[in-house]
Each structure stands twice: as C-alpha cells, then as structure tokens.
Amino acid sequence: MADVLMPRLSDTMAEGVLSHWLKKQGDPVRKGDVLAEIETDKATMELEAYDEGVLERLLVPEGATVPIGQLIAVIGDGHHAAAAPAAPPAPAPPPAVRGPGKPATAPAPGTLAAAGTQIRTSPLARKIARSHGIDLATITGTGPGGRIVRADVEAAAASAEGGPAAVAAASPPPGPGQAAAAAATDGQADDEEVPLTAVRRITASRLTESAAAPHFYLTGVIDAGPLLAFRAEANDRLAAAGAKASVTDLLVRACAVTLRGHPQVNSSWGGDKIILHRRIHVGVAVALDDGLIVPVIRDADRKSLREIAAEARVLAERARAGKLAPQEFTGGTFTISNLGMFGVDHFTAVINPPEAAILAVGAATEEPVIRDGQLAGRPTIKLTLSIDHRVLDGATAAAFLRDLKDTLQEPLRIVI
C-alpha cells in the first residue's frame, strides 16, 4: 500500500485546500494520473500519483484545509477498497438558491460541467457559491477565458428567487432577538465576513514580513517619449510574428540589463548575510481576484524583448487561471509593479521579501517641460524604487535608478 500525503507545492506553503477530487474511491490509478486539485498559497495545482494500484481510501473531503505531510488518501491493490470508509463529507451547504427552472441541488463547486469540461473559477468564487448553495454550472463567467469570479456568483445569488428581498418576504416577521438575523436576510446587514483565501492569507503574511524591513524610497521621472516611440516601432516589427510588447515588457528588459552593472541591487537579505545573485530573475506583480502573485521571468537579461513579451503573456494567463507551477513564481531577484494601466500616477510598492528592491511604475502623463528654451508638453513616467536598507545604501540604489532612467530614455540600450 502507498500513502498519499499533502505535498509541499511551494516554498511558502504550510497547508493546502483540497479543492476537488478528480479520482473516486475504487478507481484504478497509474503513475502520473491527477488525483486531485490542491489550492496552495500561490495557485491551484494538480496532485499527481507516484504509485500504481487502486485508490482504496479518500481521507479528506473536498474543501478541507490540510497541513503538509498529512495523509489524505491510500493507494493499494484493491482488496481493501470495498471495506474502506469513504472520505468524510464536507459540511453541508445551505439550501440551494434556485432560479426559475433550476434544480434544487447543486453539485460541489469545481466539479465537471455536463459537457465534460472543467468549470474555471476563482477560489473565492467557489467558497461564495458553496455558502449560497449555487450550482456553478449555471453561471456564465465574465473573468479571463470565461472564468467565474466573485462578482458573477454574487450576481447569481442576488437574482435567484427575485433576490434577497423575496427571501425576506417569504419569512415570518422576526422577534426582538432576531433583528440581526433579519437584517442579514433582507440584505441590510452593515458588515459582511469574507473568508480568507489561501492566496490572501499568504499575501498578508508576506506583507507583514516585508514591514519588518527598513524601507527607504527613491523617485525619479523619465521623459517617456523615446520609450513609447520605441515600443510603437518594435510592435510594428513584431506584428509580423503575431507578437506585441507592453511597457512592462520593456521595463523587465531594461531592469535586467541595468542590474548587470549593479549586482548589489540584484541581491537578497539572508538574515545573517546578504546573498548576491549571479543570475537575474525579474518578477512582475499580477493582480488576481483574491490576491497578488508574482510570476518570474528567469534570466531576463539573456532574453530578447520578443522572448520576454511572449513569456510574460503566458505567465500572466497561467497566473489568472491559477495554473502556475512553483518554479514559475519563486526564486525572483527583483520585482516590478506597474499600475500605470489603472491611471495611477505615482505610488510606493512593498518589497517582496527576501528581495532587496522593487520598482513601482506609474502611468505616462503629459507634463510641461522646458525643451530648447521652449515650454512643451511631454509624456513622463514616475519610477519609485523601494529598497531594503539592510541590504543597500542610498548611494548604491540611487546609482541604479539613475542608470535605469538613462536606459529607458535611450531605449536602444534595452536591446543592445
């Protein structure tokens, strides 16, 4: 017999949520078969079998949070399958919220749709659906690739049975001691408790860790005209190959090239030492429905702009689908956070520990500048470098930011 344990699927993982069993008790199993989906602190990952046989026991229900190393299933020769107890049931959800013609019972969130395809949802959307007893197969997702997000589930809950008001109308008047419950039923409650997802929990933990680092900040402004013109020209050339580079892709390449000349910035805090990294791995912060994740472009200084653009697009799509592999979001040596696409002019980012620095990038905005003695409008971008003072001093960080600005204002340096 072979034990199946909750694995460590990321460097920061302490526990995982068994989101969905893909094999049933009694099913034959071969090496490499996917047994279950596990929600970690970073993404939703597949648990593969390392042994062959029959899945004799399922010891953990869907939706359970399990510490790493705990026994969750047993693979054997099949002789004990009939006598083995099934996994304990998950807590029963409230009665299903139904719309006209909808069935009263809802399958567990994350199960396969009738057409045989996987229902793509965020972890938070699954939890909200489970609490309302909503069948995710009846919801059309509005997220990337048709993914069901929180807003979709909340809209379905509000519209079913005419919304919360209809539920309240069908209930008897509350007594004096039921005022709070009545308020929750008719949608008038002042507060709502939203359970933390695994991603949100680890984000909070990492931010708390980062707060312990003594930060200081340096801000510079670049004339973004040459950079934007270079991007337009580059995209004209890349269009023939079906590729396209974003401003963030240019920033990744520019930071990677600049870090070559400033190896101290490409370093990490090691508690009782400073770790200088010989390879340059640039992370790009990506916002998810329920948190933040930083996919990493490895050896970014050795890759062309076209390669970086293609890899960054794939990583962002995999991150939003919750399908990043551990090696795709760990091991970064420097991070970029760009909020320019949201119209944010300037902000300071929190360092992604144990890295020494993170670059915050604002939007390109038209600003008055003096050019050849004449007042003119030029697009500018504000860059703010957050630095761990335990690792870097002001002059070292300032020299890096100065050279990065020069590179971005003379963008041919990015590709040379």
pLDDT at residue 42, as a whole number: 66
pLDDT at residue 283, as a whole number: 96
Q: Is the pTM of this model over 0.75?
A: no
> What residue segments make up the domains of the chain, in order of their start?
2-76, 200-415
Tell me the CATH number of domain 200-415, given options 3.10.150.10, 3.30.559.10, 3.90.1170.50, 3.40.190.10. 3.30.559.10
| Contact status, residue 362 vs residue 381, Cβ threshold 8 Å | yes
Structure tokens at 299: 């050896």
Instruction: Measure the CA–CA gap between 88 and 74, rounded to whole angstroms.
Output: 14
Question: Distance from CA of residue 49 to its chain's centroid?
Answer: 26
Active site residues: 389
How many CB atoms within 10 Å of residue 24?
A: 10
- H/E stretch holding 277 reads none
Instruction: Measure the CA–CA gap between 355 and 210, rounded to whole angstroms.
Output: 10
Answer positive or negative: Cα dihedral of 192, 194, 200, 201: positive
User: What is the CATH code of the structural domain delimited by 2-76?
Assistant: 2.40.50.100
Nearest CA to 254 out of 38, 415, 368, 124 is that of: 415
Nearest CA to 347 out of 337, 332, 335, 333 is that of: 337
Question: Phi then psi for 28, rounded to 5 degrees?
Answer: -70, 145
Residue by residue, pLDDT tens for the chain (416 residues) are 789 999 887 766 778 888 889 999 999 999 989 999 888 766 778 888 888 999 999 999 988 888 988 999 999 987 765 544 555 554 444 444 445 334 434 344 333 343 344 566 766 677 778 777 888 888 887 765 566 877 788 788 877 645 444 334 334 445 445 444 444 445 556 788 777 776 677 677 777 878 888 899 999 999 999 999 999 999 998 888 888 999 999 999 999 999 999 999 999 999 899 999 999 999 999 988 777 889 999 999 999 999 999 999 999 998 888 788 888 888 999 999 999 999 999 999 999 889 999 999 999 999 887 778 888 889 999 999 999 999 999 999 999 999 999 999 999 888 87
Distances (CA, A) of 173 to 166, 177, 185, 193: 13, 11, 11, 25
Instruction: Measure the CA–CA gap between 179 and 175, rounded to whole angstroms.
Output: 7
Residue 69 region by backbone torsions, left for phi larger than 0, else alpha for psi between -120 and 50, else beta: left
* Pairing state between β 282-284 and 334-338: parallel
| Contact status, residue 23 vs residue 35, Cβ threshold 8 Å | yes
Strands (DSSP E) contained in 154-263 are 215-223
Nearest CA to 281 out of 334, 338, 349, 351 is that of: 334
Instruction: Measure the CA–CA gap between 63 and 313, rounded to whole angstroms.
Output: 31
pLDDT at residue 340, as a whole number: 93
| Contact status, residue 312 vs residue 344, Cβ threshold 8 Å | no
> Which residues are paired to 73 by β-bridges?
4, 58
Question: Distance from CA of residue 131 to its chain's centroid?
Answer: 23
pLDDT at residue 12, as a whole number: 66
